Amino acid sequence: MATRNILRRSFLRVLGTTVAFWGLGARAQANDPPQLRIGYQKSAVNLVILKQQGALEKRFPGARVQWIEFPAGPQLLEALSAGSLEFGLTGDTPPVFAQAAGKDLLYVGAEPPKPDSSAILVLPSSPLKKLQDLKGRRIALQKGSSAHYLTVRAVEKAGLQWSDIQPTYLAPADARAAFERGSVDAWAIWDPFYAAAELALQPRVLATGRDLSSNNSFYLASRPFATNHARALGVLFEELTRADRVAQQDRPAAIKLVADFSGLDAGVVSRFIQRRPPSPVGPLTPASGADQQRVADAFHKLGLLPRAVRVADIVWQPRSAKEQA
């Protein structure tokens, strides 16, 4: 009984700290946004689980919640900056390009790194055996995506220059088609497209994000939404973290929810969720912020960004509960 009481008090302290940090409380519903348009991709496991469960519609009963799917992060952030979304999730590279282009958006949260969830693939019959063999080769990738940075780092690790390769900028579906017919020599891609290709094509993995890229995932919001609805962001992250517990603790249920939504084979969903680490959602940490600055600096060094960017300039700083009251 004493142990149970200690655990209960510990839980209440953590809950109280979380509530105070995000400014949540009895008046949270009074500050609900009138609409919440969420941009997501098939790889956004936490968001997909929330969508399938209808969790946010229950937490924001007075809001019109809309879910809008995108093939990749650059397209999602374009919609966010244009005022067509309030909130969305992308990989590490799209926000860097958006910031360099002057898009008005804010980093509001992050998930832990997922270095095993992206890879550079070659066909089984490919003569390419190591990263150095990419010299002179055509590599398919989504421009401005996390796969773009993975490729930058792979080229760097191989001791090559960016000019030594032939980047072929294609969205994931077009990239897979080019990869299958041999129009490109390699494909830099992330899950679930990576998992689907693994099971269907049995490609060889030339490299994953290990020792190349942390492959961080970031939640971004429009400035008006973050400024006016801090409590709503708190609810979002609370629900996203709860969804992650489903993914970790009830894997069959999570696989079914994601497969039913995406139309992907359950085996594909199982593969990519299996290599996804626990992914609770919280504010950016010093480590994730430093990782992101390295991404920005790498693209600027190569001349692929029109200007240098300071990531910290668009990291949202939530006010205290007292200030929000």
Strands 217-222 and 87-90: antiparallel
Tally the C-alpha atoms within 13 A of residue 158's C-alpha that lie toward its C-beta.
23
- Sequence ranges of the chain with CATH classification 3.40.190.10: 2-114+216-324, 115-208
pLDDT of residue 12: 34
Name residues whose C-beta falls within 8 Å of residue 225's C-beta, 6 or more positions apart in sequence: 33, 86, 87, 232, 233
Q: How does the average pLDDT of the chain come out, rounded?
A: 88
Query: What is the band of 317 on the pLDDT scale with cuts at 50, 70, 90?
Result: confident
**Is pLDDT at 186 greater than 60 in this prediction?**
yes
The CATH number given to 115-208 is 3.40.190.10
Q: What is the pTM of this model?
A: 0.85
- Is the Cβ–Cβ distance between 257 and 48 less than 8 Å? yes
Q: Could you give the percent of the chain with pLDDT greater than 90?
A: 84
pLDDT of residue 42: 86
Tens of pLDDT, residue by residue over 59-117, are 999 899 999 999 889 999 999 999 999 999 999 999 999 999 999 999 999 999 999 99
Tens of pLDDT, residue by residue over 33-57, are 999 999 998 889 999 999 999 999 9
- Cβ atoms within 10 Å of 16's Cβ, excluding its own: 10
Number of residues assigned to the chain: 325
Name residues whose C-beta falls within 8 Å of residue 148's C-beta, 6 or more positions apart in sequence: 93, 141, 142, 188, 299
Look at the domain 2-114+216-324 and name its fold.
Answer: D-Maltodextrin-Binding Protein; domain 2 (3.40.190)
pLDDT of residue 6: 33
Q: Which tokens is 248 given?
A: 């970790």
CA dist 124 and 111 (Å) reads: 33
Mean pLDDT, range 137-154, rounded to an integer: 96
Query: What is the band of 30 on the pLDDT scale with cuts at 50, 70, 90?
Result: low
pLDDT of residue 29: 55
